[in-house]
Structure 1
Amino acid sequence: MGSPGLHKARDKMADAGVDEVAIDTFAHYYRLLEHGETGMVPESTIDPVDMPSLADVEVDPDVAAEAIRHTAVIKLNGGLGTSMGMERAKSLLCVRRGLSFLDIIARQVLHLRKEHDATLPLMFMNSFRTSADTMAALARYEDLPVDGLPLEFLQNKEPKLLAADLMPVSYPKDPDLEWCPPGHGDVYTALRGTGLLDLLIERGFRHVFISNSDNLGAVPDPQVAGWFAASGAPFAIEAVRRTPSDRKGGHFARRKSDGRIVLRESAQTPKEDAEALADLDRHRYCSTNNLWFDLDAMKQALDVRQGILGLPLIKNTKHVDPGDPSTPEVIQVETAMGAAIEVFDGSALIEVGRDRFVPVKTTNDLLVLRSDVYQVGSDFVLDQVATDVPFIDLDSDYYKLVGEFDKRFPEGAPSLAKASSLRVVGDYTFGRDVQVVGDVALDSADAERVDQGAVLHGDADA
């Protein structure tokens, strides 16, 4: 029979035209919630994991070229950048020289196609909020679409559930807020539901590379493609060494009960295990969200599970209106696409350099990306020219939102190539050609201007 809440949720999704595969997947997780599933992964159930490094792997150039010619690329592009005050696709943000994330991604792929004589189709998993803007921005690249394959497919949506009784929430003031995305684990559901999984196999592709559109380091690199093809693994994730800034984030581990690799997110970590989560010597690797999978293996896994991959549940508790804590508390049922690593026998991990993991989650990250820490070459691949990536901490009262951030860097980012860190407390506007050297801290209760050509050294303190 099922519960009244699930019946209402299913009806609501069907009325909104949500794909049947996505509705069945949502129902699977709803039942887990009803039975008290929390998705938690206690420290006592896992061990640390080790892995090879790409730097130590030799890949035959012919194998690499063959692999990239049978690879399709998917970019997750459903985010609006709301945490930075944006109302459009975050990938429309300007990175440099008038080029957005989307521009650079498109040009990276077009360059690789020519260099390796590869079809290399590029597809974006958009949300209903990012689709129109994204497709309009990509229209200038007439050679980007591949005949017979879409340039985009849409992620699914699901109802937010009242935390009190798991009924789908009603919010007439803004009905859009009654819905939420199912997390990026939805990519597998969407690929199956749209028929794109079968279509790629029919067209002769063997592998898929998936990454976030806000990570310009995530290039479909032939060496990584060759390693994955040669490994014979059905599924793999690129990992990086965790740094102090990753202490609160997820990590890889090996489950004691069956020896499988798992990806434990911070939301899946019990409070009593917070110290172990933050232990960089114990859990040394985190995910880049750069994923590779074998198309036939993915199809088989979905077929035998009736379309439900069975990724671990992530129970995300928020408010109907995230910006208004007085609105009812709701549960968002989510999954992480990297968690699919535990579904497949023989899944693999590979350590890559930080040059393949340059995510932009805040304006702190954006400042580094726009600075001279990186160069963008003729292949449109980011090249880190600074010895180290500096730590940036801008006062959130003045720099958190992109509009306010841009006002304070009207002439572009300062030089950060020789910087170790930049901490700003207060309202500073930066002139042209400012250089930051070493560890610099600025602190003022009054609005200040950093003059054109100023060189800020480690002892700077305004």
Structure 2
Amino acid sequence: MEEPTTETEIKTADVTTTLTPPPPTASPHQELVERLKDYGQEDVFALWEELSPEERHLLVTEIENLDLPRIDRIIRCSLNSQGLPAAAIEAPPESCVSTVEERRKEDKEKWWKMGLKAIYEGKLGVVLLSGGQGTRLGSSDPKGCYNIGLPSGKSLFQIQAERILCVQRLAAQAMSEAGPTRPVAIQWYIMTSPFTHEPTQKFFESHKYFGLEADQVTFFQQGTLPCITKDGKFIMETPFSLAKAPDGNGGVYAALKYSGLLEDMASRGIKYVDCYGVDNVLVRVADPTFLGYFIDKGAASAAKVVRKAYPQEKVGVFVRRGKGGPLTVVEYTELDESMASETNQQTGRLKFCWSNVCLHMFTLDFLNQVANGLEKDSIYHVAEKKIPSINGSIEGVKLEQFIFDCFPYAPSTALFEVLREEEFAPVKNANGSSFDTPESAKLLVLRLHTRWVIAAGGFLTHSVPLYATGVEVSPLCSYAGENLEAICRGRTFHAPCEISL
């Protein structure tokens, strides 16, 4: 008797045809293993045999959704760039900085009017970087939900929303002199992370968008990247999931691109984009003066800067890399002690004195260039961190881009000095820390607003030392201390309190 065969013979007339069954189709898991081998990441499936069907499905889905060529390029370029010598650092030229001391009243008035006109014409969009949680503040909520303890009890989100409402009103009033006006709506694009997206949306919905129209607020998510070992291997957080981290606040450029929001801005007629971080309670959102200055300078990008308080202050500063190179930001660790202390003989101030505080303005055309340029170069900052893994917390690497990574691409960048006591009150660390706490930020707000009220003819009484208290002026009353005389002149306010409409 003949041995059985897997082939089938079919005889037709004098022709014999042998049919061979097709080879079995590879499973998605096997196909992915082969793809991962090309990038040296096949260990992702090392515990495959121990996974349940549900866990296998989760792992396969996660790996299928990765852009492996892009991620591999980012890892290789970023790790290989470490340790390369940086170009020599030069101080920014004086001509690129508008300082507080040299700013004339007529310039400020001109810029204010130019900015309000552009806002009225719908040419300004606002991007908020809000991907972080309030972990260091002792909260798992999005940082923008945090209440720093002002008399009003308002969250950071509410304060910023009300500043937008105030600017909208000011823009409509400024244009009313030329005839009837229409309502003004500034588009607010809020970048979240996978950890803050849903709670941020719910917070806005539950507070009815703080008086803004729902259709002028758009939420979008920044990307994440796998955490890696120092030799570039993916770290597994569980046997069926990668350890991942947000790609830094510089991820805003790719996020705007891939979410289609750059096209959305263009379709709305937006020409200029104000971009800032959520944790500055004194931020002047959609600042008409800064916008007017930016338009007047004709620059592609701009940044508000504050003067370093002392040479060793741990802040990033604007510099030029290379002889006559573009402006960029370096971290304080890149300035040795002698360089940090060096002074300009003509002005007497520190040569490297302009601190970056994440208050930026860009043209939409430039943002499009950045979104494509940064993606092409794919060089990320390497941050060595403790990473949660299946083997416990291990030493690993997070890859991030920073908001200031765009500046080397700019054909021109203008710097605009502001006073930190007026526009920079960061909320980063829990009360009890030595700096940047809710308490320190609250006092900066109360002291600034107290000065506004006194300048407008108001008076204060207080039951605690005045340096430890003050008044809060609602953003709905005044954007930057203007138009307070009718509310404050001749009136006495007992601190602490909120002055509102």
Map 1:397-408 to 2 at 5 A.
none
Alignment partner of 1:417 is 2:467: yes
Change (3 A) 1:3 1:98: same
Give the match for residue 425 of structure 2.
Answer: 358
Checking the alignment, whether the CA contact within 8 Å between 2:383 and 2:399 is kept in structure 1 is: yes
Checking the alignment, whether the CA contact within 8 Å between 2:78 and 2:378 is kept in structure 1 is: no
Residue 393 of structure 2 aligns to a residue whose secondary structure is coil
Give the match for residue 303 of structure 2.
Answer: 237
Work out the CA distance in 2 between the residues paired with 1:353 and 1:134.
30
Moved more, 69-78 or 114-123: 114-123
Alignment partner of 1:144 is 2:197: no
Deviations 1:376-426 (A, max 9, x none): 9xxxxx63749xxxxxxxxxxxxxxxxxxxxxxxxxx9756269xxxxxxx
Give the match for residue 116 of structure 1.
Answer: 171
Deviations 1:128-187 (A, max 9, x none): 11122222221223542463x652101111110011x211101218957x1111111100
Q: Which runs of 5+ in 2 are unaligned?
A: 1-34, 45-57, 173-183, 344-349, 453-462, 470-501
Checking the alignment, whether the CA contact within 8 Å between 2:77 and 2:379 is kept in structure 1 is: no
Alignment partner of 1:321 is 2:388: yes
Work out the CA distance in 1 between the residues paired with 2:314 and 2:449.
27
Residue 351 of structure 2 aligns to a residue whose secondary structure is coil
Map 1:70-109 to 2 at 5 A.
70-95=123-148, 96=150, 97-109=152-164
Work out the CA distance in 1 between the residues paired with 2:158 and 2:60.
34
Alignment partner of 1:203 is 2:262: no
Alignment partner of 1:46 is 2:89: yes
Change (3 A) 1:24 1:211: farther
Work out the CA distance in 2 between the residues paired with 1:200 and 1:208.
9
Q: 2:446 aligns with which of 346, 351, 375?
A: 375
How far the C-alpha of 1:258 sits from its partner, in A, is 4.5
Give the match for residue 31 of structure 1.
Answer: 76
How far the C-alpha of 1:313 sits from its partner, in A, is 3.2
Give the match for residue 64 of structure 1.
Answer: 115
Residue 428 of structure 2 aligns to a residue whose secondary structure is coil
Query: What root-mean-square deviation, in Å, do the aligned CA atoms of Structure 1 and Structure 2 show?
Result: 3.5
How far the C-alpha of 1:67 sits from its partner, in A, is 2.6
Change (3 A) 1:26 1:150: farther
Q: 1:336 aligns with which of 398, 402, 412?
A: 402
Give the match for residue 15 of structure 1.
Answer: 62
Work out the CA distance in 1 between the residues paired with 2:164 and 2:222.
22
Deviations 1:61-96 (A, max 9, x none): 431212333111111111112223221112211132
Residue 280 of structure 2 aligns to a residue whose secondary structure is coil
Work out the CA distance in 2 between the residues paired with 1:329 and 1:77.
27
Q: Which runs of 5+ in 1 are unaligned?
A: 377-381, 387-412, 420-462
Work out the CA distance in 2 between the residues paired with 1:297 and 1:144.
28
How far the C-alpha of 1:54 sits from its partner, in A, is 5.1
Q: TM-score, normalised by structure 1?
A: 0.71
Change (3 A) 1:67 1:279: farther
Q: 1:290 aligns with which of 341, 344, 359?
A: 359
Checking the alignment, whether the CA contact within 8 Å between 1:234 and 1:346 is kept in structure 2 is: yes
Alignment partner of 1:250 is 2:319: no
Percent of residue pairs identical: 21
Work out the CA distance in 1 between the residues paired with 2:308 and 2:253.
27
Work out the CA distance in 2 between the residues paired with 1:384 and 1:28.
53
Q: Which amino acid aligns with 2:99?
A: S
Map 1:129-168 to 2 at 5 A.
129-139=195-205, 140-142=207-209, 143-145=211-213, 147=215, 150-163=217-230, 165-168=231-234
Residue 133 of structure 2 aligns to a residue whose secondary structure is coil
How far the C-alpha of 1:252 sits from its partner, in A, is 0.9
Map 1:171-250 to 2 at 5 A.
171-172=237-238, 178-219=243-284, 220-244=286-310, 247-250=313-316
Checking the alignment, whether the CA contact within 8 Å between 1:239 and 1:285 is kept in structure 2 is: yes
Residue 171 of structure 1 aligns to a residue whose secondary structure is strand
Work out the CA distance in 1 between the residues paired with 2:379 and 2:449.
36
Work out the CA distance in 2 between the residues paired with 1:111 and 1:238.
21
Q: Which amino acid aligns with 2:140?
A: E
Give the match for residue 39 of structure 2.
Answer: 4
Change (3 A) 1:360 1:16: farther
How far the C-alpha of 1:110 sits from its partner, in A, is 1.5
Deviations 1:99-135 (A, max 9, x none): 1111111111112112213321112101111122222
Q: Which amino acid aligns with 2:293?
A: W
Deviations 1:270-304 (A, max 9, x none): 8xx3553576823111111001100022224445x
Q: TM-score, normalised by structure 2?
A: 0.66
Checking the alignment, whether the CA contact within 8 Å between 2:226 and 2:234 is kept in structure 1 is: yes
Give the match for residue 178 of structure 2.
Answer: none
Change (3 A) 1:341 1:54: farther
* Greater Rg by CA: 2
Change (3 A) 1:335 1:41: farther
Checking the alignment, whether the CA contact within 8 Å between 1:211 and 1:290 is kept in structure 2 is: yes
How far the C-alpha of 1:326 sits from its partner, in A, is 6.7
Q: Which amino acid aligns with 1:190?
A: A
Alignment partner of 1:276 is 2:351: no
Change (3 A) 1:48 1:356: same
Work out the CA distance in 2 between the residues paired with 1:348 and 1:414.
43
Work out the CA distance in 2 between the residues paired with 1:325 and 1:300.
42
Change (3 A) 1:299 1:6: farther
Q: How many residues align?
A: 373
Work out the CA distance in 1 between the residues paired with 2:256 and 2:60.
18
Checking the alignment, whether the CA contact within 8 Å between 2:281 and 2:441 is kept in structure 1 is: no
Residue 210 of structure 1 aligns to a residue whose secondary structure is strand
